[in-house]
Amino acid sequence: MTTIDYHRTLVFPNRIRKFRKQLNIGSLLELSERLSGITYIRLSKIERGEIFARADELRDLGRALGVDPVELLIDVDAPGFDVAAWAEPLHGPAPADPEGELRAVLLAAALRARRGGDPALTIAVLESEYGIAPVVLSRIENALKPLERWNEDVRAALRRLFGAPDDKALMAEVEALHAAGDLDAVLPMVANPEIRLTKSRTRIAALKDELSGGAPEVAAPVAARATIPTPAPKIEPMAPDHAATLRLLPVLGTPLPGGLIAPTPTGAEVEAPRSAGPRAYGLRLGRPTLGAGLPGRATLVVDPDRYPATGGLAVVREGEALRVLSVAADRNGRMLGYSQSPDLEVILDTLAPADVAAVLSAVFE
């Protein structure tokens, strides 16, 4: 039987948060405003170790923070380095419910094995015939939470997929697969931190080589926020055969009482990032409901086909109106959305996935 290390381990250790705090840049949005080439959402994922930064992005961050970009990289093999200690300020301590995390990992592995054993179970088929949206599928297969914390629609789809009459029978089948060793081949894809650290070692070494081959001089830290010019709207790099195509999205948004936003057309348009899906749109905030770090004149690019990640922003539907929330996770792994004005806390996991959308980027006027 495979031993499972289900403690969450980050992919890409870095020192961005350390230098940001040293410069008294308390808000990640504030740092984002100093970077014309990195969207807020991507910057959040880089700082939290969820994705790899490119060399050009590290150079931009180095200039904004006043450090050599190589200093932003951590040697994961350095004496005394502890990835769990590094991750705790961003992701909290070790899971409060290790048994729940173990169940989530086993469910993720069972679903991966089920799909791997049936070529007909494509992402499109799972969405069209079982109602499991791609973003939900990804979250299940990456062990975001155990079966009992998914809503009834998702649990019913999984029961049907595995031919189980109820949740108890489904988890019994999953545990039987694990006991029989049928999940051994896929478990390392879900819960082996050494695989992630190996990826970090390789990527960090490659980035150091790239940065040492002509990195620009380190500039002084950017001046106080009041002197920062408004960045130009971000245009993501496009493939050469699409370079001449500029995609514009309609901007919606009329402020309503209680921090809500009516999705009414404004007549304005905003440039679409390369990663924006076919249903993406712009949303004018109208009021600084998340505090001064996200002013009311900001326009967000929202993608209804993507689910938000912790550290990013989400747009949720309330009746016929929309609300913008910052996203975090509590000690139990629940995904929460927060608003500052009004002061609200929303458990995103309890909402229908169709009513929750990710914010890809923000444009500040």
**pLDDT tens digits for 62-77?**
898 899 988 888 887 8
Farthest CA pair distance, the chain: 63
At residue 92, the pLDDT reads 59
Tell which residue, 362, 351, 355, 359, has the closest CA to residue 149.
Answer: 351
Alpha-carbon gap, residue 132 to 122, rounded angstroms: 11
CA-nearest of 305, 298, 272, 294 to 283 is 298
Which pLDDT value is given to residue 193?
65
Q: Return residue ranges of the chain for CATH 2.10.109.10.
A: 230-363
CB-based burial label for 240 (10 Å; 0-12, 13-18, 19+): exposed
> What's the rounded mean pLDDT across residues 75-98?
70
Q: What percent of the chain has pLDDT over 90?
A: 22
- Give the pLDDT confidence score for residue 152 in this predicted structure: 92
Output the pLDDT for position 242: 40
Query: CA-CA distance, 40 to 63, in Å (whole number)?
Result: 17
Report the alpha-carbon distance of residue 227 to residue 16 in Å, rounded.
22
pTM over 0.85: no
**Average pLDDT of the residues in 141-146:** 82
- Report pLDDT for 157: 94
Is the pLDDT higher at 232 or at 260?
260
Buried b (16+ CB within 10 A) or exposed e, 6-38: bebbbbbbbbbbebbeeeebeebbbbbbbbebb
- Per the structure block, which two tokens stand in for 201? 């070692």
Q: Picking from 53-67, 180-194, 205-219, 308-322, which range would have the lowest pLDDT averaged per residue?
A: 205-219
Beta bridge partners of 326: 313, 338
Torsion of CA 287, 290, 293, 296, to 10 degrees: -10
Q: Looking at mean pLDDT, say which of 4-13, 25-34, 194-203 comes out highest.
A: 25-34
What gap in Å lies between CA 325 and CA 336, rounded to an integer? 9
Q: What is the pLDDT of residue 11?
A: 54
Contact 342, 323 (CB under 8 A): no
Torsion (CA) 222, 226, 227, 230 in degrees, nearest 10: 90
Domain covering 230-363: architecture: Ribbon (2.10)
Query: Do 311 and 45 meet the contact criterion of CB atoms below 8 Å apart?
Result: yes
pLDDT of residue 107: 94
CB-count burial class (<10 Å; 0-12, 13-18, 19+) for 117? exposed
CA–CA dist 361, 284 (Å, integer) = 12
Number of other residues whose CB lies within 10 A of the CB of residue 149: 19
**What pLDDT, in 10s, does the model give residues 235-269?**
344 444 444 457 889 999 999 888 999 999 888 88
- Residues 299 and 284: their CA atoms lie apart, in Å, by 4
Residue 43 · residue 138 · CB < 8 Å: no
What is the pLDDT at residue 166? 96
